[in-house]
Amino acid sequence: MAPRSQRRKHKKPPSSVEPKVVTPVPLTLSKPDPSIDALGFCSLEKNVPGLSQLILQKLNMKSYEEYKLVIDGGTPVSAFRFHCPQEMFQKMEDTFRFCAQCRALPSDLSDSRVLRCCKRCRNVYYCGPECQRSDWPAHKKVCQELRLVAVDRLMEWLLVTGDFVLPSGPWPRSAEVVQGWDSWFSMRALQLDATLDALLSSPAMTTLWASVRHPRPASDVLRDSLKRLLTDALSRPLTMGLGLQALGIDVGKAGGSTVHVVGASHVETFLTRPGDYDELTYMFPRHLGFRVIMVGVDVATGFSQSTSSSPLEPGTVQLSSHRGLYHDFWEEQVETGQTAHPDLVVGFHPGFHSSPDLMEAWLPTLLLLRDYKIPTLLTVYSHQELAASLQILVDLDTHITAYGANPFTSLKPEQVYSNPNKQPVYCNAYYIMFLGGFCQLDQRQLEEKVDGRV
């Protein structure tokens, strides 16, 4: 394959698809290989100056580099152990303490003033009644939804500790019938009810709510929260399965199927366990093995580094990772035969629409996926992101085969950390699928193109 600088060149004939009314992101800028995690962390300062340092302080960390070592797996989480659960939950809550109206931090207030949370959602703070009244027109639109965010944020700890074990096992219905969460919950009803009943009455649940300063919500509120957390945990494998079905991937081929998760970060790899993608086996009971390889500059270092292309055991899911940019991984691993050619490439929230730096890093990969006609599925958080991402892909002449609302979106609302009254979003809310480009090339033309001869 041609050097990266040559692959970035592309000819852009007029698009045959009506473009969305979105300003395209510039395609060539200065900083290569950006970390989406670092960009997100640093962006906190733009909305709330001093917030990133407050977060580090409450997590008993001295710098972002120290924080990054933990989520990358380079430093054990235990190195930042708190004295008791009460201290951990209190300090976690303290990281949300800033005025949603004037952006004041606790350190900005006099000794006689404190930040108090909204009594309805228990999730947004104000430095006084005047700021709260001024902010109410914006806050009232999201207050109820942010109440769910506050509950889910605490209940998620049960997934981290392993006390909330997701229901699993063979599907009694075919994948064609299970077309969204309603049919999935209906299929798992009895097993799920037993799991949730046991957890709601467990010592782990009692300990959790004894360790926080909020009163324990009613059982129906906690049950709904656990269901939302379940959808968040299973959204990625089920969305991957949706792509395998919609793009016609043969999961019964000899040697197994390979899925590359491109642009993977600590979200897909930090605290990920070997069985987290077993739902693919229940969705495709006759598959001959899935090899899922997470590729990205932010994958956790503690995650498996094996990307062997040896045959898989039928009915198994093998998770592994590679740290780096995907187009480099392609040249070093795929083209040399060290890693299997992907049957499907998936990008969970690539975010290339949001940052010129990210677009610069993503461009060679998007062109590679297009020119090699690799079936690709991308997800985004919102309709706005969907429109912006579609505009970029149309400008790159990709052949978009489908896009729309994802039936397996996470139902857990995600709050924008430094802008709490912004409308919450949902992981994998929308999908985009594309295969090749509008002007399909034969193999000879493709080789000439990537070698820079056209």
Q: Tell me the backbone φ, ψ of residue 24, rounded to 5 degrees.
A: -65, 145
Residue whose tokens read 């729309």: 404
pLDDT reported for residue 71: 60
DSSP string, 172-197: SS-TTT--SHHHHHHHTHHHHHHHHH
pLDDT reported for residue 66: 72
Residues near 78 by beta carbon (within 8 Å), at least 6 away in sequence = none
Helix (H, G, I), strand (E, B) or coil at 336: coil
Q: What does the block give as tokens for 423?
A: 């409308």
Helix (H, G, I), strand (E, B) or coil at 268: helix
Can you state the angle between helices 36-47 and 356-371, rounded to 10 degrees?
Answer: 150
d(CA 250, CA 265): 27
- Which pTM value belongs to this model? 0.82
Rama region for 291: left / alpha / beta (φ>0; ψ in -120 to 50; rest): beta
pLDDT reported for residue 84: 74
CA-to-CA separations, 269 to 293, 316, 333, in angstroms, rounded: 10, 19, 20
d(CA 109, CA 93): 18
pLDDT reported for residue 113: 77
Query: How high is the mean pLDDT in each 10-residue block of the chain (454 residues)?
Result: 36 33 31 55 71 75 70 55 73 85 88 84 92 95 94 93 92 93 95 96 95 90 97 96 96 93 86 85 94 89 63 88 92 92 96 87 95 97 94 94 96 88 94 86 49 41
d(CA 434, CA 87): 48
d(CA 343, CA 260): 8
d(CA 234, CA 410): 8
d(CA 402, CA 248): 13
pLDDT reported for residue 379: 98
pLDDT reported for residue 68: 67
pLDDT reported for residue 141: 94
Question: Distance from first CA to last CA of the chain, Å, rounded?
Answer: 14
d(CA 302, CA 305): 8
Cβ(252)–Cβ(288) under 8 Å?
A: yes
